[in-house]
Amino acid sequence: MFLLDAEITGTREVASGMFVIAMRAPEIAAGVRAGQFVNLGWTRGPLLRRPFSVYRVDGETIEVVLKDVGAGTRELLAMSPGDRLSCLGPLGHGFDFETSSRTALLISGGLGVAPMPLAARDAKARGMRVTWVHGARSAEDLCRESDGDEVIWATDDGSRGVPGTAVAAAPFVGLVIACGPNRMLAAVDERWPDAHVAVETYMCCGTGVCLGCAVPLKRGGYDRACKEGPVYRAAEVDWSALPSHLHYDSVA
């Protein structure tokens, strides 16, 4: 884990209202795994750092993806190249690609696209064939960037790709990796209980101290998403005890 003074190097829009921020963080870029995240803070920013999955790595640069949903993300998106962020990471337990499967199925919904480019990278590094299924409400909400040997689009309104959800559009193949709203991950659990899922929950310290990111488990008790998670076997999580989606504007 590193605490870096990370210089912003660029920002781009990848879907309607969805943006990628790139920053120079060489120590994190060298070792981050798919599913891990960074906690960002900035001068005159919110009291608590904000967690973001690492989206892509390019040399010494890492990227995060976000939407303008509250005061914190609005301040981030108002920054310019050359501005600096306090970047803590990599944090959390990432996806595990130690498997005999030769194929990987990536399923993402909305902002759940965040860890998928790195997941595709890590799966391909193990010689796996990658199918990526990405879903959103409409064509304009779909992330325009994708990676994989096969890409399947799904939209709730049928404006692009398969009408309906990403889970419904996904084939039954290989190791399943998923990230998106908790109601989507609960649906993943019904089809693939052994899937690896990145849980969506509120988070504060990012280091396991504050216990603000408790994940209810079916066996009883709780885990810390920032420490034992955010990646879990789908069947381990008590989805009925988690909110179906998060109100980001209360924390973003």
Residue range 103-241 in CATH 3.40.50.80: yes
pLDDT of 249 reads: 38
Burial of 207 (0-12, 13-18, 19+ CB in 10 A): middle
Angstrom distance (rounded) from CA 213 to CA 225? 5
Every domain of the chain with CATH number 3.40.50.80 lies at: 103-241
Identify the pLDDT of residue 202: 77
Angle at 152 between CA 150 and CA 156, to 5 degrees: 170
- Cα separation, 225 vs 145, in Å, equals 27
For position 250, what pLDDT does the model report? 34
Percent of the chain past pLDDT 90, that is, above it, reads 80
Class of domain 2-91: mainly beta
Q: pLDDT tens digit string along 77-130?
A: 999 999 999 999 999 999 999 888 999 999 999 999 999 999 999 999 999 999
Each residue's pLDDT tens digit, 160-212: 999 999 999 999 889 999 999 999 999 999 999 999 999 988 777 878 788 88
Query: What are the E-state strand segments in 25-139?
Result: 37-41, 50-58, 61-67, 84-91, 103-109, 129-136
Domain with CATH 2.40.30.10 in the chain: 2-91
| 251, pLDDT greater than 70 | no
Contact 60, 27 (CB under 8 A): no
